Amino acid sequence: MDRDERLRARDWLATARTLSEALPYLQKYEGQRVVIKYGGHAMGDAERSGEFARDIVLMKQVGINPVVVHGGGPQIAEMLERLKIQSTFVDGLRVTDEAMVEVVEMVLAGRINKMIVSAINAAGGKAVGLSGKDGSLIRAKKLMRRARTSDSNIERFIDLGFVGEPVQVTPDMLEVFFGSDVIPVIAPIGFGEHGETFNINADTAAGAVAAAIGATRLMLLTDVSGVKNADGHVIPKMSLSEAQHLVDNEIATGGMIPKLETCITALRQGVEAAVVLDGRAPHAVLLELFTEHGAGTLVHQ
């Protein structure tokens, strides 16, 4: 056996060993529901998008019921820049006026949603694109943020415009998909009491969907390697109370605030565990589900 043959044999053995070690996790998650929030710059990379699509198809193939809820911050920012519309953020949430919410819906429910659906279908799956408006999936209300002024320490409310938070998730349509080979892909656009359109943070929408369907896992893919402590090191695992401590003591900042708040709320509503992981890492979803070490930061009860 020459050197190339020995290397190929070693790779085959490593693949077989990996599959064997994954067996307990395949058995654990069979028939379970897993919500994956897909977002960040990984969506704009063709190779990473293809890998993600294949991973989702594999999950469905081995008996897991994946639900993809996607964001699109970089793509929305790109479109707003082209249209010369300025953006401002509060605690990682985009302030959204009436003109902007039309652009957000166009990008999220249109271009991005169909791109993800097409990638999953090209990988051999059967994906269907939805927004929170379809089937009355996500009813929302206006989200208000409280902030303190630096000079007087007086608390005030900040109007984020057409930024919403889920009030009710009606998963009837998703339940139908769970009994089939269809993979739902959801854009985080909700509807209000008077028919208005709300832009919902994708992490928040994913958490609400996970709680409504009784998901075993909520996975938040992002552009960082996980939740970091005050020293800047990734925390592999933390409890619910530890996650709350990071938020309350402002150790978590910017876009990590809604992510941790989503994890905390989802766990309190019955989701078994939530994970913040790097969506840029190859096969991050599979590593988290099917290996002993996982990936990113696991938040547990």
Please return the burial class of 46, using the count of CB atoms within 10 Å of its CB with bins 0-12, 13-18 and 19+: exposed
What CATH number labels 30-300?
3.40.1160.10
Q: Looking at residue 287, what is its pLDDT?
A: 87
Domain residues of the chain, as ranges? 30-300
Give the C-alpha separation, 128 to 183, whole Å: 6
Distances (CA, A) of 253 to 8, 157, 229, 259: 46, 19, 11, 10
Question: HEC states along the chain?
Answer: CCHHHHHHHHHHHHHHHHHHHHHHHHHHHCCCEEEEEECCHHHHCHHHHHHHHHHHHHHHHCCCEEEEEECCHHHHHHHHHHCCCCCCEECCEECECHHHHHHHHHHHHHHHHHHHHHHHHHCCCEEEEEECCHHHCEEEEEEEEEEECCCCCCEEEEEEEEEEEEEEECCHHHHHHHCCCEEEEEECEEECCCCCEEEECHHHHHHHHHHHHCCCEEEEEECCCCCECCCCCECCEEEHHHHHHHHHCCCCCCCHHHHHHHHHHHHHCCCCEEEEEECCCCCHHHHHHHCCCCCCEEEEC
Residues with Cβ within 8 Å of residue 48, at least 6 apart in sequence? 42, 279, 280, 282
pLDDT of amino acid 47: 83
- Whether 224 and 284 have beta carbons less than 8 Å apart is answered as no
**pLDDT given for residue 146 in this prediction:** 63
**What pLDDT was estimated at residue 125?**
97
pLDDT tens-digit profile, the chain (301 residues): 566 666 666 666 666 777 778 888 888 889 999 999 998 776 777 788 899 999 999 999 999 999 999 998 888 888 888 888 877 777 666 777 788 888 889 999 999 999 999 999 999 999 999 999 999 999 999 987 665 555 555 555 677 788 899 999 999 999 999 989 999 999 999 999 999 999 999 999 999 999 999 999 999 998 888 888 878 888 889 999 999 988 888 888 777 888 899 999 999 999 999 999 988 888 889 988 888 777 789 999 8
Pairing of strands 33-38, 65-70: parallel
Q: What is the Cα–Cα distance from 125 to 181, expressed in whole angstroms?
A: 8
